[in-house]
Amino acid sequence: MMSPLCYDIFDSPIGILTVVADTDALCRVMLPSNDHTTQEHKCWHYAPSTTLLKQARTQLLDYLHAELHTFSLPLRPQGTPFQCAVWHALAHISFGQTWSYAQLAAHIGRPSASRAVGAANARNPLPIVLPCHRVIGSNGALTGFNGGLHIKRSLLYLEGIKPTHTCKAIMTS
């Protein structure tokens, strides 16, 4: 049986963040663009004073104020084995570095799976902590980010990275 989930919601330099944990690991970070009032959210218990949620809040705010480069939180992301392999590999991308989707695919031993790596990144339940924002296109372009490209750009700038350009979707009528 799964442990009950607790959450905290707080303001940050990039907007409202929600962190969700079970009794001993962080399970989710919700960015400002996420719906913080989902049906799933109604099953969680508001418990901002739990040790783990206080640590998550403190570490996220320290990171967003450029005072922390590496997170030290117990994590429990839920996903397929492939997704979990991608998310685990994200932890190898250091503060101030970027990898391309192709580099990340090669790192997990699936060099032809760049698109699948991108899809796994899009489902990363622990953005910022598992730094999917550090993954960019092979040409240096900023590509999709669940929190929005403006937040991805802000996070990279915070780390001293100046992306070469942004890849935008082309709209046709």
Instruction: Just list the catalytic residues.
Output: 132
In the chain the first and final C-alpha atoms are separated, in Å, by 49
The full length of the chain comes to 173
Q: Do the beta carbons of residue 44 and residue 50 sit within 8 Å?
A: no
DSSP letter at 112 equals T
C-alpha–C-alpha distance, residues 37 and 47, integer Å: 16
C-alpha–C-alpha distance, residues 12 and 165, integer Å: 26
CA distances from 65 to 55, 112, 140, 145, 156 (A): 15, 37, 25, 21, 13
